[in-house]
């Protein structure tokens, strides 16, 4: 059977299952079962049992529920309140003033959450009422939050980087450290845009209403110090070679529990709620990963990924042309699927192609995440757009329009990491190995 027919069968089966309301993970398993049953000679049931067990019994995957739990604990702490009161005194003198709180706040919360939607929702609940009360331009408030919320996917600990690392068998610790500089670069691009817009539209930016001495600013920011120390401990233990990603996640959970207890918000109810929230999210992602692993095996037996890689190779595309084609492909795919589903669904086909093109897999992981970030603010299935629609009451078209400049800035970020790959690869190359 030709590759075109196989692709059509896979796509039709997938969209029929997804369109009928079947969960993504089960849809992937269904497509894989069809491929194994009708296009290979290996028994589908035996292959599914072996593959699903192997994919979910990976020790590396234990970092996923731990980092999610850390974010769930801190989500229920006083962090969002401390972020505004701690950041506002330092932002008042910048061009754009308090609008920068959206960017910096999202960058900080991204370093403990790993989820774009959670980052957007948490910072939005805190900043939108405050900025509205001070008469900041609504389009800039909503747009900066839509763009900055995507930092939750890139700045470690990133859930989607864990998923990519498991799917491609790349070190999660190295992927985490690789996301630091691109994440900071993207935050700097967002802040630069806010600053330039504010200088060009000075009459639309309210005056600075926060006057404090340096010592008063330090005192106002004291609530952020424990959180920053927790972030430094988690990432520093990975970069310094003292802990694996899983061990660093355990450090993060213990630190988050202690911080919530110290703030007086940790009780039995909060503990159980955060644990159940982490369990629901983790099992959803693991089901998708299980389905993805079975689909990867099925595709391998059909020979489709290998044949597609050879076909792409025969086109003799330059690396730049291939990257551009992949970027357009993921942007289009992001109009219909969430980020995690995009990664697990495509890696089985793309990995041989990427290896054939000799791309660094750590660099490619950062590229994928930035492109997936674009999909978070691309209608009709941009998750951040829906989050902000609920928070602000604006239509999805208004939110999409305000987010468009940040989409362009992400395209600029992709161009920068293509032109200067060291932005993503330098820190991982300097990491100390974890002693064992």
**pLDDT above 70: residue 289:** yes
pTM: 0.81
Domain ranges of the chain: 3-430
Q: Tell me the per-residue pLDDT of 310-369, one tens digit each, with 9 for 90 and over.
A: 666 677 778 888 888 888 888 877 766 667 777 877 777 788 778 877 889 999 999 998
**pLDDT above 80: residue 181:** yes
Average pLDDT over residues 412-435: 85
List all residues 6 or more positions away from 376 whose beta carbon is below 8 Å from its beta carbon: 116, 149, 150, 153, 334, 339, 382, 383, 384, 385
Residue 308 has what pLDDT?
Answer: 65
Residue 191 has what pLDDT?
Answer: 93
Alpha-carbon gap, residue 207 to 244, rounded angstroms: 47
Residue 187 has what pLDDT?
Answer: 93
Q: Tell me the per-residue pLDDT of 227-274, one tens digit each, with 9 for 90 and over.
A: 888 888 888 888 787 888 788 888 888 988 888 888 788 888 888 988
Q: Tell me the per-residue pLDDT of 79-110, one tens digit each, with 9 for 90 and over.
A: 767 777 788 788 877 888 888 988 988 888 88
> CA separation (Å) from 417 to 106, 261, 424?
21, 41, 7
H or E element at residue 362? helix 361-376
Angle at 110 between CA 104 and CA 115, to 5 degrees: 140
Q: Dihedral of CA 128/401/106/287: which sign?
A: positive
């Amino acid at each position: 059977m030709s590759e075109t027919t196989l692709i059509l069968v896979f796509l039709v089966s997938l969209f029929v299952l997804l369109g009928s309301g079947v969960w993504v993970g089960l849809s992937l398993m269904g497509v894989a079962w069809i491929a194994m049953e009708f296009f290979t000679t290996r028994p589908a049931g035996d292959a599914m049992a072996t593959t699903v067990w192997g994919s979910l019994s990976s020790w590396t995957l234990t970092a996923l529920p731990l980092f999610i739990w850390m974010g769930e604990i801190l989500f229920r702490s006083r962090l969002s309140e401390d972020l505004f009161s701690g950041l506002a005194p330092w932002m008042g003198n910048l061009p754009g003033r308090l609008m920068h709180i959206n960017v910096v706040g999202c960058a900080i919360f991204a370093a403990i959450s790993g989820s774009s939607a959670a980052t957007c929702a948490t910072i939005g609940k805190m900043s939108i009422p405050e900025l509205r009360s001070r008469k900041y331009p609504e389009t800039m408030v909503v747009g900066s939050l839509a763009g900055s919320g995507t930092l939750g996917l890139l700045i470690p600990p990133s859930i989607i980087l864990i998923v990519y690392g498991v799917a491609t068998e790349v070190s999660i610790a190295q992927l985490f450290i690789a996301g630091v500089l691109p994440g900071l670069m993207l935050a700097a691009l967002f802040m630069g845009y806010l600053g330039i817009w504010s200088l060009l539209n000075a009459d639309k930016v309210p005056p600075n209403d926060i006057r404090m001495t340096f010592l008063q600013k330090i005192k106002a920011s004291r609530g952020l110090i424990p959180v920053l120390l927790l972030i430094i401990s988690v990432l520093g233990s990975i970069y310094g070679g003292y802990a694996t990603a899983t061990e660093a996640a355990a450090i993060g959970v213990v630190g988050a529990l202690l911080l919530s207890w110290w703030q007086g918000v940790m009780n039995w109810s909060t503990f159980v709620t955060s644990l159940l929230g982490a369990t629901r999210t983790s099992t959803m992602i693991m089901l998708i990963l299980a389905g993805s692993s079975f689909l990867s095996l099925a595709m391998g037996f059909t020979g489709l990924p290998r044949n597609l890689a050879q076909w792409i190779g025969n086109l003799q595309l330059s690396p730049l042309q291939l990257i551009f084609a992949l970027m357009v492909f993921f942007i289009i795919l992001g109009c219909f699927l969430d980020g995690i589903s995009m990664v697990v669904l495509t890696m089985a086909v793309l990995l041989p192609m990427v290896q054939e093109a000799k791309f660094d897999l750590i660099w490619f992981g950062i590229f994928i995440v930035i492109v997936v970030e674009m999909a978070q603010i691309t209608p009709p299935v941009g998750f951040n757009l829906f989050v902000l629609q609920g928070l602000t009451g604006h239509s999805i078209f208004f939110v999409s329009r305000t987010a468009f400049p940040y989409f362009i800035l992400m395209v600029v970020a992709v161009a920068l990491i293509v032109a200067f790959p060291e932005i993503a690869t330098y820190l991982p190359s300097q990491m100390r190995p974890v002693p064992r």
